[in-house]
Amino acid sequence: MNVATTLPGCDAPIAKEQRPVLRERGQREVFCGLTGIVWLHRKMQDAFFLVVGSRTCAHLLQSAAGVMIFAEPRFATAIMEERDLAGMLDTQDELDRVVDRLLSRRPDIKSLFLVGSCPSEVIKLDLAKAAQRLGAKHMPNVRILNYSGSGIETTFTQGEDACLAALVPEMPALAADAPQELLIVGALPDIVEDQFLRIFKQLGIDRVGCLPARNARDLPSVGANTRYLLAQPFLADTAMALEGRGAQRLDALFPFGAEGTTGWLKAAADAFGIDPDHFERVVAPGRERAKRAIAHSKGKLEGKRITFLPDSQLEVPLARFLATELDMTPVEVGTPYLHRAHCAQELDLIPPSARISEGQDVERQLDRVREDKPDLTVCGLGLANPLESEGLSTKWAIELVFSPIHGFDQAGDLAELFARPLRRRDVLEV
Ligand code: SF4
């Protein structure tokens, strides 16, 4: 099929032969966007996430994030009771009281996110209006923003996308005559972010910002001289918002594995005019270290068949990593939402034999898994146990989101995350 069109959120027309994608719409088995608070609150050290939701939302957050015993909490749920839901109370007034109490007790909070949930969306509670009203009251001490983390969205990583997209209008403007700046987009563990910043510095790229920033005061600037690299494949809305402010995306592989990380760094090096020999000198040691680390898992993984059920939106770049660097065979690569432009280089490297699917219809997908009988299935928590009981090895997709997996120094651990379930099965079968 020849297509010449512009997809929503894409920065360039697509006019080439596209590989077929199986599109499915049906029952979904994924966490909601509130899950993102678990890693976002660790990353943004002076932010607070106030979910406006139900007891179910509070339970989800508490069980996913655990209880913080020694630190002041940085997330909470304003629980909507029956009287709120029935419209018997003015929920906006209630919310104002909760926020005022919170901010008077916690002067350390510099950004407050009001996070929408299924219940707040069902009763059409206008959190944008609340954020505006409360923001005006508490500025300049606290920036108050809102986004949706509800399960009505496609999958849980959209929570991060919505949060970062909400930050983009707050970013200061980069002057039109300012030198070109690089922006890394996507929440990375601090240790991984520091590794990348060190490499960019060695390359000679000094003006580098990160979205999200660790502190509210460090929110980077954005403008026509911003070149941004996506660190995660699930940031379509954030990318669109950045482009609305003039920033340009650097097309690249995602930084998973030795080759993915090299490609990601190279996209920035080329955009900033870095000499190729210098690039090679800086990057080669890390790349070789990553290749050696990956080799430890290769014996276990090469030739093995793998299926990804749609869950985190990391599926496409991870399937590429496993196919090109570990010689695995992707059977089906399912993803809740496929951004063709952001994943274009990844898709080109996934073997044509792999079935790419977008969206979810869980029963039909499980039928295909049973028929394909892959050696390993990457799926959500709720599907892993039933598949294991049928004799199939599984890997929890959410573990890949919570583990540091980007960059050269994490490439060996990333490969090992896939090798471990196969080793465990070997042990159980002895
Ligand atoms: S936002 Fe929706 S899906 Fe998520 S915990 Fe609350 S009620 Fe459940």
State the fold for domain 293-429: Rossmann fold (3.40.50)
What stretches of 21-117 show up as alpha helix (H) in DSSP?
A: 37-43, 55-65, 82-85, 91-105
What average pLDDT score do residues 48-67 get?
Answer: 86
Residue with more model confidence, 361 or 289: 289
Burial of 363 from C-beta contacts in 10 A (0-12 / 13-18 / 19+)? exposed
Lowest mean per-residue pLDDT among 11-20, 66-75, 148-157, 282-291: 11-20
CA distances in angstroms from 425 to 282, 305, 375, 381, 419, listed in the order given:
40, 15, 10, 18, 10
Tokens 């490609």 belong to residue: 263
31 pLDDT more than 60: yes
Rounded to whole angstroms, the Cα distance separating 269 from 277 reads: 11
Whether ligand 1 lies within 6 angstroms of the CB of 151 is answered as yes
State the fold for domain 181-280: Rossmann fold (3.40.50)
**Among residues of the chain, what percentage have pLDDT more than 70?**
92
* Ligand 1 pocket test target in 49, 51, 56, 80 with most atoms within 8 Å of CB: 56
Rounded to whole angstroms, the Cα distance separating 138 from 79 reads: 22
Q: What is the CATH number of domain 33-153?
A: 3.40.50.1980
Structure tokens at 170: 């707050």
Query: Mean of the per-residue pLDDT values for the chain?
Result: 91
Q: Whose CA is nearest to atom 6 of ligand 1?
A: 57
Q: How far is CA 147 from the centre of its chain?
A: 15
146, 164 contact by CB (below 8 A) = no
Q: What's the 361 CA to ligand 1 centre distance in angstroms?
A: 20
Q: What's the 372 CA to ligand 1 centre distance in angstroms?
A: 33
CA distances in angstroms from 99 to 54, 72, 116, 163, 236, listed in the order given:
17, 16, 15, 19, 30
Q: What's the 42 CA to ligand 1 centre distance in angstroms?
A: 21
10 pLDDT more than 80: no
Structure tokens at 291: 């290749």
3 pLDDT more than 60: no
The predicted-structure confidence for 359-384, as pLDDT tens digits, reads as follows 989 999 999 999 999 999 999 988 99
Whether ligand 1 lies within 6 angstroms of the CB of 33 is answered as no
Residue with more model confidence, 285 or 119: 285
6 pLDDT more than 60: no
What average pLDDT score do residues 327-345 get?
Answer: 96
Give the pLDDT of residue 425: 78
What average pLDDT score do residues 133-149 get?
Answer: 95
CA of 149, closest atom in ligand 1: 1
Q: What's the 76 CA to ligand 1 centre distance in angstroms?
A: 14
Return the exposure string of 187-218: e unless at least 16 CB atoms fall within 10 Å of the residue's CB, then b: bbbeebbebbeebbeebebebbbbbbbeebee
The predicted-structure confidence for 202-232, as pLDDT tens digits, reads as follows 999 999 999 999 999 999 999 999 999 999 9
Q: Whose CA is nearest to atom 5 of ligand 1?
A: 57
Give the pLDDT of residue 16: 52
Tokens 């910043």 belong to residue: 197
Rounded to whole angstroms, the Cα distance separating 229 from 265 reads: 9
Q: Whose CA is nearest to atom 7 of ligand 1?
A: 118
Q: Is 313 left (phi over 0), alpha (psi -120 to 50) or beta?
A: left
Q: Which pLDDT band holds residue 112 (cuts at 50, 70, 90)?
A: very high
Rounded to whole angstroms, the Cα distance separating 72 from 75 reads: 9
Beta bridge partners of 173: 222
| pTM higher than the cut 0.85 | yes
Q: Is 94 left (phi over 0), alpha (psi -120 to 50) or beta?
A: alpha
Sheet holding 181-185, edge to edge: 208-211, 181-185, 226-230, 248-249
Rounded to whole angstroms, the Cα distance separating 358 from 123 reads: 30
Q: Note whether 33-153 and 181-280 share their fold.
A: yes
102 pLDDT more than 90: yes
Cα-flanking dihedrals φ and ψ of residue 329, to 5°?
Answer: -110, 105
Q: What's the 60 CA to ligand 1 centre distance in angstroms?
A: 8
Residue 356, helix vs strand vs coil:
strand
Rounded to whole angstroms, the Cα distance separating 37 from 115 reads: 9
What average pLDDT score do residues 390-402 get?
Answer: 93
15 pLDDT more than 60: no
**Among residues of the chain, what percentage have pLDDT more than 90?**
78
The answer to whether the peptide bond before residue 140 is cis (omega within 30 degrees of 0) is yes
What average pLDDT score do residues 259-267 get?
Answer: 98
For every residue of 380-417, which 3-state class applies, written as one string? CHHHHHHHHHCCCCEEEHHHHHHCCCCCHHHHHHHHHH
Structure tokens at 304: 């093995």
65 pLDDT more than 80: no
* Ligand 1 pocket test target in 55, 57, 63 with most atoms within 8 Å of CB: 57
- Domain segments of the chain as ranges: 33-153, 181-280, 293-429
What average pLDDT score do residues 324-344 get?
Answer: 96
Rounded to whole angstroms, the Cα distance separating 352 from 150 reads: 35
What average pLDDT score do residues 176-184 get?
Answer: 96
What average pLDDT score do residues 295-308 get?
Answer: 96
193, 184 contact by CB (below 8 A) = yes
13 pLDDT more than 50: no
Give the pLDDT of residue 17: 65
CA distances in angstroms from 419 to 354, 371, 377, listed in the order given:
20, 22, 12
Q: Which pLDDT band holds residue 336 (cuts at 50, 70, 90)?
A: very high
Whether ligand 1 lies within 6 angstroms of the CB of 80 is answered as no
